[in-house]
Amino acid sequence: MLISQFAEHTGVPATTLRYYESAGLVPAGRTDSGYRVYEDRDFDRVRFIQAAKHLGLALGEIRELLAVWEHGSCAEVRARLRPKTAARLDDTDARTAELTAFADTLRRALTRLDDMPDRAEPCDAACFVHASETRIQALHLPLTPSRVGGTGQSAPPIACSLGGADHRTRAHRWRRLLAGAVREPSAAGVRLRLPVDRAGAIAQLAAAEQQCCPFYDFTLHLGGSQVVLEIEAPPEAAGMVRELFGEGARAHPDH
C-alpha cells in the first residue's frame, strides 16, 4: 500500500515513516512511478519500533534490536531487550526523584508567597524579606535527554513516536497549559513566562514529551511568582517547535 494508506493504518505520520526509511529502519519499496509502497511485514516492523521507542530506546539501539528480531529468536530479543529496559527503569526512578524534589520546592515557594503581606501599599523592608526568601528557592531544572536517557548515547532522532490521535491529545494539553503565556526573546528556541502554579504541570508534561520526542530540551527557571519555560531543539525540528509551542503565547509588551 502507498505511504498515505500505511500511515493511516499504523497511526504513524508519513513524515515519521520517511524518517524511518532514511534511518534504515523501515525500507520502503517503490512503484514504477517512484511512490513508496509497504508490505504486510512492515506493519510488524513499525509496531516493534513504536514499542521500543515507548521504552525510551535510542535509534541505534532500535536498529540493533530490529536485526535480532528479524533474524534471531524470541529468546535472543528478550536477552538483548531486558538489560536495556532495566537501565531505562533506573533512569526513570532517578527522574521521578528529581520531579518529587521539584514539587517539594514548588510547595515551599507557594507557602512563602502566601505568607507575603497582602496589602495595596508598596512593599517595605518586611515585604522584601519575604520576596527575597522566595527567590532563594529559585530552581533551574533542565530536563535534557542526557539526564533522561543516560550519557554516551547518539543524538536522538527528529521524530515523534506518538500516533495521530495521541499526538493531537498531547498538542491540546500543551495549548491549554501554555494559554496566556508571555513570549520573550530567545535566540535558541522558545521562551515563555507563566504563573508559578503551572510549574508542576509543565514539568510533568515536559517529561512525558521527552518519552516520545527526546530531541526536545526543556529548562524551567523558577523564581518569585512566575516560572520561565525554555524549549530548544535541533534546527531540523524548528517547524515542530513552532507547531507545538508557538501558539497560545502573547508577545512581551516590552518587545
Q: How confident is the model at residue 232 (pLDDT cuts 50, 70, 90)?
A: confident
pLDDT at 118 over 50: yes
Q: Say what the pLDDT of residue 13 is.
A: 87
Query: Residue 252 pLDDT more than 50?
Result: no
As given in the structure block, the three cell numbers for residue 174 are: 500543551
Q: Say what the pLDDT of residue 36 is.
A: 92
Residues 80-94, mean pLDDT to the nearest whole number = 86
Q: β-strands 181-184, 249-251: how paired?
A: parallel
Average pLDDT over residues 14-23: 87
Distances (CA, A) of 164 to 15, 22, 48: 12, 21, 17
pTM summary value: 0.48
Q: What is the mean pLDDT of residues 173-187?
A: 85
Q: What is the full DSSP assignment across 127-174?
A: HHHHHHHHHHT-EEEEE-HHHHH-SSPPPPPS-----HHHHHHHHHHH
79, pLDDT greater than 60: yes
User: For 6-15, 63-72, 216-225, which range has the lowest pLDDT when averaged over its residues?
Assistant: 216-225
The 3-state DSSP composition of the chain as helix, strand, coil percent (nearest 5) reads 55, 15, 30
Nearest of 158, 219, 153 to residue 192 by alpha carbon: 219
Question: Which domains are delineated in the chain?
Answer: 3-82 (1.10.1660.10), 90-251 (no CATH)
